[in-house]
Amino acid sequence: MHHTNPTRKRGHTSNDSPPPPNSLPRLRVGLVLATLLLTPLNALVAADAPQTAKPNIVFIMADDLGWTDVAFHGGNAPTPHLDRLAREGLELAQHYVAPVCSPTRTGLMTGRCWSRFNVTNPQNERALPWDTATLPRALKSVGYDTCLTGKWHLGSLPEQGPNHFGFDHSYGSLAGGVSPWNHRYKEGRFTQTWHRNETLLEEPGHVTDLIAAEAVRWIESRGNTPFFLYVPFTAVHLPIKEPDEWLRRVPDSIQGDVPRHYAACVMHLDDAVGRIVSALEKKGRRDNTLLVFTSDNGGSTVENNDLKYPDDNCPNGKLTGNNKPWRGEKGSLYEGGTRVPTIVSWPGKAKPGKVSSPVQIIDWMPTLCTLAGYRSDRELNWDGTNIASLLTNHTELPIRPLYAVAPGGRSRSLRFGDWKLIVHEDKNARKMELFDLAHDPSESQNQADQHPDKLKQLLTKLDKAAARDRDAVAKD
């Protein structure tokens, strides 16, 4: 095994250290000199605080949260904190992710389609080559403190964890979703996965509270350095079992054991987001923080008490993930598997309202790197694009192909403008579905036979996108 073995750091770092001298753009030097002549000293110090130079970034990702699981899309569980972020911030009404977990996380960390790394399933094997220019590494290189609290799922061995891919501080599950109280992943090699900085640990508490509390503590411990906080919650992934405190608050109209636990889980998640926002406010960092809330894939309706997990006394019954009015659910390339509730909150910067330009999880790396002033000295082959002007001015993005791959490569999709092609690989035959999302967003009418030219155009683009798959597969 050969790898670069980046230095592993423990505990909080550079909390109180001054920003590096080169952290301010050169342009500011002239500005500061000019301002010196005109401004009293105390005002100058405030104007020159490093947090005005680069935005802090807080990226919150729910797990398996469906389109209509949130109240601002008509969901039956109250989500006042998310509703407020949506109302006062910017909603990305067509934000796409992969249909399952590890692929979406790969896209976020790299700006590339997950299939480039041959990551199409949830996986415990290391997802990324050791020297990958990940989002936290890029941000760290331009002066950011970096933290992950929550679920990693890009390599479940401690030595493949977040600290080895650019995070100063990490906490939560190295593997996938965990049981809420015993914090165990599925039976087997990776069942014990709860950790802090890649050291396994046992502690009491509900998983949503633990992840949020670590985020709050990390925010409270910041100095003046810009920061990137990534909070991939395990809610509302199975198995779920909520505290009585949250079950009691579920509206009476929601009946049944698992439906009530599911609603409580959504409400608990919403409250945890509220705690993070409140910590930013208390720290005086809310205004210069770009906060994103999204989900890693669509909602699920499978059995809650998955027997692959060690028993955590969770209720039996089917989850009530709600992706209406979209077709399909978690695991599928239909809208219900890939189009998820997404909010951007960046006071005074992101223009409030709602935008409908289609965007994808892979767009965040180019966007956040640009906003942070990061430039790579090598070609990173990003598939995503910088969407900053969509956030700040609602500038519509040019039409571009948006490519996605389902688990095991069993189907692929390509969206171009309002059209979406899904190709299902069925033994030697390819089954084609073509949808006109402008008129049929719930994908009920396959238009492949009616629009052969459009089918051919999208198929050519899809095959071109697929030709670059597996060019960056992790090897030992």
Residues forming the site for Ca ion (CB under 5 A) = 63-64, 101, 296-297
* Least separation in angstroms between CB 118 and Ca ion: 19
SS3 474: coil
d(CA 191, CA 177): 10
CB 50 within 8 A of CB 19: yes
Please compute Rg for the chain using Cα positions: 22
If you ran DSSP here, which 8-state letter would residue 446 be given? Answer: -
Instruction: Tell me how far, at minimum, the Cβ of 64 lies from Ca ion, in Å.
Output: 4
CB-CB contact of 168 with 140 (8 Å)? yes
Residue 131 CB, nearest approach to Ca ion (Å):
27
Helix (H, G, I), strand (E, B) or coil at 458: helix
- The CA-atom distances, in angstroms, between 15 and each of 12, 214, 223 are 7, 15, 5
Q: Which of 391/405 has CB closer to Ca ion?
A: 405
Find out whether 104 and 188 touch, Cβ atoms under 8 Å: no
Q: Tell me the residue type at 383.
A: D
Tell me which residue has tokens 């992950």.
148
Residue 360 corresponds to which tokens in the numbers above? 């994808």
Handedness of CA 344, 349, 352, 357 (dihedral sign): negative
**Shortest gap between Cβ of 298 and Ca ion (angstroms)?**
9
Shortest spacing between CB 61 and Ca ion, in angstroms: 9
Pairwise CA distance, residues 170 & 114, whole Å: 22
In the bound state with Ca ion, the residue whose beta carbon lies nearer, of 75 and 298, is 298
Least distance between Ca ion and beta carbon 362 (Å): 17
Residues 6+ apart with CB under 8 A from 287: 347, 348
Q: Closest residue (Cβ) to Ca ion?
A: 101
Nearer to Ca ion, 101 or 290 (CB): 101
Closer by beta carbon to Ca ion, 97 or else 414: 97
Complex with Ca ion: residue 94 or 297, whichever CB lies closer: 297
Our CB check for Ca ion shows the closer of 66 and 366 to be: 66
Half-sphere exposure of 117 (CA within 13 A, CB side): 33
Which is nearer to Ca ion, 51 or 332 (by Cβ)? Answer: 332
CA 404 vs CA 253, 340, 368, 397: distances in Å: 38, 14, 21, 18
Indicate the SS3 state at residue 40: coil
CB of 302 to Ca ion, least distance (A): 12
Residue 342's nearest CA partner among 80, 74, 82 is 82
- Which residue lies nearer to Ca ion by CB, 103 or 366? 103
Task: Report the residue number, 56 or 342, with the smaller CB distance to Ca ion.
Answer: 342
CB of 299 to Ca ion, least distance (A): 10
Q: Least distance in Å: CB of 411 to Ca ion?
A: 18
